[in-house]
Structures are given as structure tokens and as C-alpha cells.
Amino acid sequence: MNNVAANQELPITLLIIDDDLVDRKSIRRALMSSHRPIIIIEAKTGAEGIAQFENNIVDVLLIDYRLPDIDGLALIKDLLARKKTDATIIMVSQHEDEILSLNALNVGAHDFLLKTEVNSERLMRTIRQAQHRQFLEGVVREKNNALEWLANRDSLTQLINRYTFEKTLKDACTRVLFTGDNIALLFIDLDNFKKVNDTLGHFTGDKLLQNVATRLASVIKDGDCLARLGGDEFVILANNIDSEQQTFAIATQVIDALTPPLQVGNTAFSITASIGISMLGEFASSPEAMMKCADIAMYKAKQNGRNHFCLYTDILHQETQSNAILEEEMSYALQLEQFVVYYQPQICTKTKKVKGVEALIRWDHPTRGVLAPGVFLDMAEELNLISEIGQWVLQTACNQLKQWQLQYNLLDEELTISVNLSALQLQDVRLLSLVSHALESSQLSPCCLELEITESSIIHSPENIVERLHELTRKNVKLALDDFGTGYSSIKHLHLFPIHSLKVDKSFIAAYKQKKSQDKVLEAMINFAKYLGLCVIAEGVETAEQLDFCQSQGCDLIQGYYYSKPICAADFEAKYLAI
């Protein structure tokens, strides 16, 4: 915006709208005395003034308050409504009226001038002041527009932000109450995006998010809304939805749009997304409920394998309600002694006798029966109960093995017990003291205890964990690396951590003879572990053929349904000890 008032050499075009010929001539004479070049246009009525304004580029308007066909205030409103203009507007009147001058400024005039004060110097000063005021108003308006943009937009992607989206969603929910149509919300979360920031840095991550935003914008139809909620989360508000199939089509378009690799610098990225969908209706009757239901559906899509979409339906609603009840019940399950430990034998390939046993938690639910850990452990972690439950399992397992040793005169080397440690337990600075307490209180020898850790639980901060694990092994506690072959850098971990046993993941055993290349990987892993002097445990062995293979490859212990599923302490005792 140019400050015309600051440059008195620039010519201006001025439109006088006044029905009084004498007044028009008076204003013209005053203007002609100015040194500034001025083009003067005259109009006798409001209608004529509107026509001149429409047909000319006008810099300044002098508008009489009293016109034969319209009053000056209404004319100003009409002119501003018809055309966006940078013209300076000055109202002139025969009568001094403070209320009139305020009303003129309120409707859009930039100054007010009495006709009795019209002379060359006074008129030009008024025009300059009005133009400067109009310039300042424009600057403030631009600044406000810029601030509004920043307040409503995501600075990285330029999409609307969470705040604006929530207002838009609220307005849409109100609108459909009167229109009768429907809306849908698609919650988009990029799969494993954290790895990009962790490995390549946030600069690359931000560039990738900008590219993703562009891809997503390409599938948005007119009238729909795309926003970035933050991080790697995006959301689409789809209007005029008639059926679930329409939402599926939009979700499919999003997945397809992200399928071609995204280029950032010299690196190509394959990005996938999990999408949760909710529709305004029975389960999501408010903006907040739509967001919550879409978020739940998105996590369900991730559970189903990622790069997929899921609609919040009656079935998912019932599952969510059931999980909510289960969460509530879990908060006191430990105090009510509803958890139990099951035991799965590890059979020595040489003696065909039980040599080890893994302790596995179960929830003996009063109405749902015995629940496997996959049903509730993630929930326990969310409720910050996993460490407490893990310590209970450790203590129970140590107590049980000691009881069996006393009852059946078992030597320390005859039977060991394996207990899983969660990632949170590994991060706990009290790990050594908690394990020591379980051993001391049960009077179990440390050499009889093997703690199982997974690669995924140690990958994020191995330097903090390695010393704790060395302290445990110095107390003669054994360590087993569980799910070997499925983690991030298995060989590195074998050297970094004081591992005693290696458990070959059951997915490799289950895939035996399905792919020759995978069989060779399995053989190589077992041979490598044997070369390092590790005890090799094959878990998930279910068939005689799998058993023969593991034995032929030199596995030391066999664990799996071929011998036994996890069973309660009494059944384990009867089957393997009381013989």
C-alpha cells in the first residue's frame, strides 16, 4: 500500500458528490488553488456519484451529507459494499454535528469537514490528513490479516491448524442439523514417521511433511477441509457424505496419493498412513466425539497392519466400551489376586527332559475367563501398571521354582526359570535391587533365574541399560535375548550385552520350509549363535518336522506347543516334576 499523503507531487482524482451547485463550485475553486495536480469529477446525486465511482479510478471522495436521493452515510455504505477501494472518503456538511461526524467515521469515512471551513489550505490539509489516516488504517488491516493468517495456519505446511479446524468442525456439525446432509472426519497418522526424525533429523522430517501436505491437498475436493493437527497427524473434514463407501473412496485416494515415493534432496521415502474414519451420528454426535472416534479407528487401522483405513462402527464401539471396562477392572486386578502365572517347559534336545521353564502371565478374569497377555499388557502399560505387574510375576516365579526345588529335591542346575522384562522395567534404575529382592525373599539362587529381554526394548537407549545388565550377570543372573532376528541390529546386541541364551523367534520356526532363503537365514542365525557359545532356544516349535530341524541344527532347548502349551503350576508339576 502506497502512502499517497506522503507524496504531494502525485496527481489525484477527486469525486465531489453534492447537489448544491454553489457548494461544488466553492470546493472546485479551493482545489484549483492547490499546487497539487487534481482531476475533479462532479455528481449531483447519490446515483450519479455511484456511476462515476464505478467508471473511474477515484482517489478521494467528498460526499455531502444531504443528497436528494440518499443520505451521505447510506451512500458511503453503498460505495464500500459495491467495490473494494483504497479511496479516501471525506464527508462534508453545512451543520456542525459531533454525532454525525462520529457516525461518518464509523461507517467508513476518514474525516469530516464543515462546508463553512472550505478554503484551499483547509481543504488540502483535510485531504492529506484523511489520506494518511486511510493509509494507517490499511497498514493496521494488513497486519491484522497477517496475524489472523498466522493464528489460523500451520506455519510448516500452510494448512489450517488444529484451532481453526476445530472451529470449522464445530460449525459443520451445527450446519448439518439444519441441512440434513452428513459429514465425515478422516484422521490420518503417518506410519513410523518418528524413525525419519530420529535417523535423518527434523529438517528432513519437516521437508517430508511439507511434501505429504501437498500430496494430501491434491485429493481434497472443493468444500472439504484439510488440516495439520501437529506432528505427523493430518485430518480431513469431508462434507456432503451420503454413505460409508464415500469415506472409503476418500481414504483410498489418500493412501494412493502417498504411494509414489516422496523425494527430499537425494533421498526417496516410501510413506504410508493409517486412517481412522468417523461419521456424525449415533456414536459421534459432537465435534469432540468425532475426533475421539476417528482417533480410535486410526489406532485400529494400525493394529490391522498399517497403510490401511478403519471406520468407527458399532463393532468397534462395543470393543472400545469393553476395553474401557477392562481398563477399569485391571486397576484393581492385582490387589484382588486375579493374575496368575502359567509355565511353558523348555525341553533339552539331548536328554528330552525339562531343563527350563518360562513364566508367562495370565489374567483369570471373573467373567471373561483366562485372558492371554496380548489382551491386556498394552493396556497395563498405558495405565502405568506394567512395572508393578512385572515385579509380581518375577517374585511369583522365583517363589514357585524355589518351592519345586524344595519339594522335589531339585539341584540348581536341574531347572531354571525364565521371566520376561518389559522395556519400562529395563529403564528402571531400581532394576538390580528389585531383582535382588525377589531372589533374596524367595531364597532362590541367582543362577536359576534367566531374564528375557527383547531387541525392541533396548534399542532406544542401550547405553543406559547395558551397565544394569552387566550388574545382573555379575550376580550370576542369566540373560536371554528374546525374538532374535526381528529387531533392529541383532549382531550388535550380541556383542554389546552379556547374553547367555538366544531365543530364535517363532516366526522363523513357523516359516520353516516355506521359503528356502528364509530357511538359510534361520540356519545361519543358529550357527552364528552356536559359534558365539550361546545357548540356543527354539520357541514356537509345533510339529515333528520343526523339531527335527531344530535338533539337526544343534538347538539346545525346544519350547512350543509340540511339547506343551503354557499351563498352570499344578499341571506343570504333575506333568514334569511329580513323575
Indicate the residue among 248, 281, 312 that finishes a domain: 312
Which of 197 and 251 is assigned the larger pLDDT? 251
**In 88-207, beta strands by DSSP E:** 88-93, 111-114, 184-190
SS3 state at 70: coil
Find the mean pLDDT for residues 104-121.
Answer: 86
Question: Pairing mode, if any, of strands 478-484 and 449-454?
Answer: parallel
pLDDT above 70 for 491: no
Domain span holding position 236? 162-312
C-alpha dihedral, 116 to 93 to 136 to 54, nearest 10°: -120
What is the chain's mean pLDDT, rounded? 89
- Three-state DSSP class for 111? strand
Are the C-beta atoms of 290 and 280 separated by less than 8 Å?
yes
Q: Is the dihedral of CA 427, 432, 433, 436 positive or negative?
A: positive
Cβ atoms 501, 526 nearer than 8 A: no
CA distance 408 to 159: 70
Q: What is the CATH number of the domain that holds 263?
A: 3.30.70.270
Same domain, 134 and 207: no
| Rounded mean pLDDT, 502-523 | 80
State the Rg of the chain over Cα.
Answer: 39
Residue 139 in domain: yes
Say if residue 386 is in the same domain as residue 525: yes
CB-based burial label for 557 (10 Å; 0-12, 13-18, 19+): buried
- Report pLDDT for 8: 60
pLDDT higher than 80, residue 41 = yes
Quick check: 525 and 555 in contact, CB under 8 A? no
Q: Residues 456, 535: one domain?
A: yes
For residue 250, is it within any domain? yes
Angle at 397 between CA 396 and CA 398, to 5 degrees: 95
Banded model confidence at residue 108, pLDDT cuts 50, 70, 90: confident
* For residue 107, pLDDT beyond 60: yes
User: Does residue 494 lie within any of the structural domains?
Assistant: yes
CB atoms within 10 A of CB 462: 17
pLDDT of residue 52: 92
* 354 contacts: CB under 8 Å, gap ≥ 6: 345, 346, 347, 348, 415, 576
509 and 385 in one domain? yes
| Res 245 pLDDT > 80 | yes
Phi, psi of 357 (to 5 degrees): -150, 135
Beta strands in 401-512 (DSSP E): 416-420, 449-454, 478-484, 501-504
With bands split at pLDDT 50, 70 and 90, how would you rate the model's confidence at 485? low
> Are residues 238 and 384 part of one domain?
no
Whether residues 520 and 384 fall in one domain: yes
Predicted pLDDT of residue 160: 92
Which pLDDT score is estimated for 340?
97
Residue 555 lies in a domain: yes
Average pLDDT over residues 298-304: 92
In the predicted structure, residue 1 carries a pLDDT above the cut 60: no
pLDDT exceeds cutoff 60 at 388 = yes
CB atoms within 10 A of CB 198: 11
Q: What is the mean pLDDT of residues 388-392?
A: 95
Cβ atoms 117, 96 nearer than 8 A: no
The pLDDT of residue 141 is: 79
> Could you tell me if 226 and 289 lie in one domain?
yes
Phi–psi pair at 19, nearest 5 degrees: -80, -10
Answer whether residue 535 is part of any domain. yes
**Domain-terminating residue out of 150, 177, 201:** 150
On whether both 37 and 174 belong to a single domain, the answer is no
More confident call, 520 vs 275: 275
> What gap in Å lies between CA 269 and CA 196, rounded to an integer?
9
The pLDDT-based confidence of 9 (bands split at 50, 70, 90) is low
Same domain as 174, residue 121? no
> Is 323 inside a domain boundary?
no
Query: Band of the pLDDT at 211, cuts 50, 70, 90?
Result: very high
Separation of alpha carbons 119 and 332, rounded Å: 90
Query: What per-residue confidence (pLDDT) applies to 67?
Result: 92
Separation CA 396–CA 442 (nearest Å): 9
Please check the confidence at residue 395 and state whether its pLDDT lies above 90.
yes
Quickly state the pLDDT bin for 389 (edges 50, 70, 90).
Answer: very high
Q: For residue 489, is pLDDT > 70?
A: no
* Closest of 172, 276, 262, 181 to residue 224, by C-alpha: 172
Are residues 225 and 89 part of one domain? no
pLDDT per position as a tens digit, 52-101: 998 998 889 999 988 999 989 999 998 888 766 778 899 898 888 888 88
pLDDT at 529 over 90: no
Type of residue numbered 325: I
**Angle between helical axes of 373-382 and 314-330 (0-180°, round to 10):** 70
In a domain, 112, yes or no: yes
64, 201, 579 from 124: Cα distances, Å: 17, 61, 115
Answer whether residue 525 is part of any domain. yes
Q: Bigger pLDDT: 313 or 2?
A: 313
CATH number at residue 431: 3.20.20.450
Q: Where do the DSSP E strands lie in 98-155?
A: 111-114
Per the CB < 8 A criterion, the answer to whether 251 and 309 are in contact is yes
**HSE of 112, CA atoms in CB hemisphere, 13 A:** 19
> Looking at the predicted structure, is the pLDDT value of residue 461 above 70?
no
The count of domains in the chain is: 3
> Is residue 516's pLDDT more than 60?
yes
Question: Residue 2 pLDDT more than 60?
Answer: no
pLDDT of the residue at 403 = 97
Enter the DSSP assignment of 574.
I
Position 465 scores a pLDDT of: 83
Domain C-terminal end among 97, 116, 150: 150
The pLDDT score that the predictor gives to residue 490 is: 54
Tens of pLDDT, residues 67-78:
999 989 999 998
Q: Specify whether 113 is located in the same domain as 62.
A: yes
pLDDT at 456: 73
Q: What percent of the chain has pLDDT over 70?
A: 95
Note whether 296 and 346 are same-domain residues. no
